[in-house]
Structure 1
Amino acid sequence: MLCVGPGGVGKTTNAAALALHAAKVHGRKVAVVTIDPARRLAQALGIDPVEQAQGSESRASDLVALSSEDLGLPEGARLDALILDGGRVFDTIVRECASDAASAQSILDSRIYQAMAERLSGALEFAAMARVQMLLDAGEHDLIVLDTPPTANAMDFLEAPSRIRELIDNPGARLLAGTGRIGARILGLGTSVLTRTLEAMGGGAFIRDLGTFLREISGVLQEFTRRGGDFEQALRSPSTGVLLVTAATTFSVREAGVFLDQLDDYGLNIDAVVLNRLEPKLPAPPQRDAVEAALDSAGLDARAQARAWSVYDGAQAQGRASEAAVATIAAQRPGVRIWAAPRYPEPPDTLPALVKLGASIFGE
């Protein structure tokens, strides 16, 4: 299950609530992969962000099993949680897919690799894809909930597999790596014009290091792709669904409509839309004269009464906007289930609050 949507709309919280609901109510074996959750939410899921940042020295696995007793999970159910650590995912791929231990260590020690893992465009999206593929290969869960990276272009995650293929097959990268007949000939000639030019631009040692790195990392990525199978096919399979989380505002609903069209074009199965933090529809106030008489008796002056009317009018408008948002999505997507999540006074970032949120949204 992919939880998608823009940042700041409660997507991570909804992903956690969905995973907890599936384990607690439906008795499923669930893994929830989250992207940079709030500290209290991470702690509610049994993950210490400080410990997570310490990497493999503090824990053998990034997957944390939540206590079945504390959660009240039924027999056979399971809930595992992790905060995605892109660098850790890349390190695991290198160690598992390199041709040998020496090659793996050479890649891990490379400054080029370290910079790529941290700063390469799309690195987080590929790490998310790779971590889910590892969970699929392990086969220990019957539901995996991924809180997809909150990027400006939400399709980045879905396009991560094709980006990796482009990196492997890129003619420039293959040239520098010395793979293929032409690349090997060029890099094998120390006096060639191209080599001298590259050395002048970046230094001979850097060019040789870059070529070695590209050659080694290309083999790692090819091996990972071979083992993992076609991740794009898994995304489009009937067993994969999409939950779009968005806010109940005019702009967010318009943006959601465009994104749903993109998901359709990509061939994904859209299961439901969560319109988060809906405001209740308020009734019309009693007659103004009666209200003002009551406010007078409470000691509110004219200015305070005007503010009270303004606040109520604003709350009514927000309620109407929430109602209109639900109607708009329903009209645009008659075959897609819409779940409405109310706004809570405090963020639902404790286990009881997540249980309550999950029941209110997914309890049907």
Structure 2
Amino acid sequence: MSASPAEAQGRRQAPAMDLDALIADPATRIVVCCGAGGVGKTTTSAALALAAAEAGRSVVVLTIDPARRLAQSLGLVELDNEPRRVDVPGIDGELHAMMLDMKRTFDDVVTAHSTPERAQQILDNPFYQALSSSFAGTQEYMAMEKLGQLRASDQWDLIIVDTPPSRSALDFLDAPNRMGRFLDGTMIRLLTAPSRTGFKFASAGFLFFSRIISKILGGQLLRDISAFVAALDTMFGGFRERATATFELLRRPGTWFVVVAAPEPDALREASYFVDRLSAEGMPLAGLVLNRTHPPATTALSATRAEGAAEEVAESGGETAALTAAALRVHAERMQQAAREQHLADRFTSAHPEVAVRTVPAAAGDVHDVDGLRGMAEALTGADDDTPTGTPRTRVLPARRG
């Protein structure tokens, strides 16, 4: 009997993703890893960076996630806002790592694009200190700033970006538009009107506005905001131009986005959101890394047959019957879990048939050192059909034949 259209669609094969060729290609200059929280995105970023360094490239991996997992897995005590060299014996290239410090990056921008006197005014301003530390959207904009700085330095021929968890991972794509809306907003225009024009009606408007808004915000906060905006006035154009330039850099050839997910419904729903968003923005997508899958040691014995064999062995009552039956039941559970994971992967591929997929088996424990990263790098970059069971790395289980 031939398969129904729905069954055939569910078994549609995802294209293979060749991450080995992607990171070894000199034309690849930026790789952005994005995905939901808790799916191994940071480890994936570090493993790709290590593989690229072993292939002879000069790599820096930038994490925007404030967790310390990247530093730990690379054998470093901590990371900060400047790239640190990672000493890995036997690699042909170089590996550096860093973690975005939002406030320090903002401070560096102010210092670089202002006179010393103006920069000090801004740095000492209470409103700036709050803005640079916790204001909504500042982290995403500073991520764009730091990425632009790294790319402009030409010190590294590959930059790998580990983004924050969940949907905020793509918020930095909105940074140029957010900056534009902020700079063009009514409040900013009113605050900057006296410093920009000097006309009496502008000053009068500002005084009228200040009386109203000071009742809401408080007089001191309003004065802090006004002083900050006046001091920052000359930098506004540069902020917007740099953010827009980095945004366009992400669209150009040489940049690739890698979406990371776990074989779980919520994580794959987030992955679908990322894929749709990247497509809408015209961003280049390399594919989906389906991380922490559970492929069985063999696919020759089905779950049903393993459960039946376990019952027969247990009833036989031999010396090793209990142990053998337990092993068969473990295999049956593993096959059932793999089948559930493959079903979820098939649903994703049915919705996004053009997206390449690479499955990565779950490690025995947490990846916390360079050896663990090497193992994951092999799973990410190994030949598609080079697996213990011969199952292509695009899948958890072999495809059933209709």
TM-score, normalised to structure 2, is: 0.77
Please state if 1:42 is matched with 2:71.
yes
CA RMSD of aligned residues (A): 2.9
The 3-state SS of whatever aligns with 2:376 is helix
Counterpart residue number, 2:294:
279
Measure, in 1, the Cα distance between the counterparts of 2:61 and 2:341.
29
Instruction: List gaps (5 residues or longer) in structure 1.
Output: 53-60
Contact 1:41 1:350 in 2 (8 A): no
Please state if 1:66 is matched with 2:111.
no
Contact 1:148 1:157 in 2 (8 A): no
Counterpart residue number, 2:182:
167
TM alignment of 1:171-182, pairs within 5 A: 171-178=186-193
The offset of 1:276, in angstroms, is 0.3
Contact 1:177 1:210 in 2 (8 A): no
Contact 1:189 1:195 in 2 (8 A): no
The 3-state SS of whatever aligns with 1:346 is coil
Counterpart residue number, 2:275:
260
The offset of 1:355, in angstroms, is 1.3
The offset of 1:93, in angstroms, is 0.8
Please state if 1:291 is matched with 2:320.
no
Measure, in 2, the Cα distance between the counterparts of 1:21 and 1:327.
28
Contact 1:176 1:183 in 2 (8 A): no
The offset of 1:122, in angstroms, is 1.5
Measure, in 1, the Cα distance between the counterparts of 2:242 and 2:335.
55
Q: Amino acid of the residue matched to residue 376 of structure 2? A: L
Contact 1:178 1:211 in 2 (8 A): no
The 3-state SS of whatever aligns with 1:158 is helix
The offset of 1:62, in angstroms, is 1.4
- Give the share of equivalent positions with the same residue, in percent: 32
Distance 1:179 1:278, change over 3 A: farther
Q: Amino acid of the residue matched to residue 343 of structure 2? A: A
Of residues 34, 37, 53, the one that matches 1:4 is 34
Of residues 321, 337, 343, the one that matches 2:340 is 321
The offset of 1:153, in angstroms, is 4.3
Please state if 1:79 is matched with 2:101.
no
Distance 1:171 1:222, change over 3 A: same
Aligned length in residues = 345
Counterpart residue number, 1:29:
58
Distance 1:73 1:185, change over 3 A: farther
Contact 2:34 2:170 in 1 (8 A): no
Of residues 347, 368, 378, the one that matches 1:359 is 378
Of residues 236, 242, 251, the one that matches 1:236 is 251
Measure, in 2, the Cα distance between the counterparts of 1:313 and 1:46.
38
Instruction: List gaps (5 residues or longer) in structure 2.
Output: 1-30, 384-402
Contact 1:245 1:274 in 2 (8 A): yes
TM-score, normalised to structure 1, is: 0.84
The offset of 1:185, in angstroms, is 4.1
Distance 1:186 1:357, change over 3 A: farther
Q: Amino acid of the residue matched to residue 7 of structure 1? A: G
CA-to-aligned-CA distance 1:4-44 (integer Å, 9 cap, x gap) = 111110001100101110111x2111110013365454134
Measure, in 1, the Cα distance between the counterparts of 2:362 and 2:266.
18
Measure, in 2, the Cα distance between the counterparts of 1:191 and 1:129.
33
More contact order relative to length (CA 8 Å, sep ≥ 6)? 2
TM alignment of 1:59-138, pairs within 5 A: 62-67=82-87, 70-74=88-92, 77-98=93-114, 100-138=115-153
The offset of 1:91, in angstroms, is 1.0
